[in-house]
Amino acid sequence: MISAAFHMKDLGPVRYFLGIKIDRINAGFFLSQKKYIGDILKEFGMLQSKPLLILMYSHTKLTPDKGDPLLDPSSY
């Protein structure tokens, strides 16, 4: 067993790990980075910032030589 080779301490069920909050639910686990993102926004004085609507699919693959140029790229 690994505990025979290393000093270990049981801290109970994990709640936060590397900035990720872990909640146990019936279907498994729910992972959230809400606190981590909040800490970053606070550090840079951006807690009052509002979300920005970006009209782009999240899995779009962009290339410089394919597709049509945007008519108005200023919103991006």
pLDDT at 42: 94
16-73 pLDDT tens trace: 888 899 998 888 889 999 888 889 999 999 999 888 777 777 777 778 888 887 788 7
3-class DSSP state of 48: coil
pLDDT at 67: 81
Spell out a b/e string for 40-65, using b for 16 or more CB atoms within 10 Å of the CB, else e.
eeeeeeeeeeeeeeeeeeeeeeeeee
pLDDT at 73: 77
pTM over 0.85: no
Task: Label residue 2 by pLDDT band (50, 70, 90).
Answer: confident
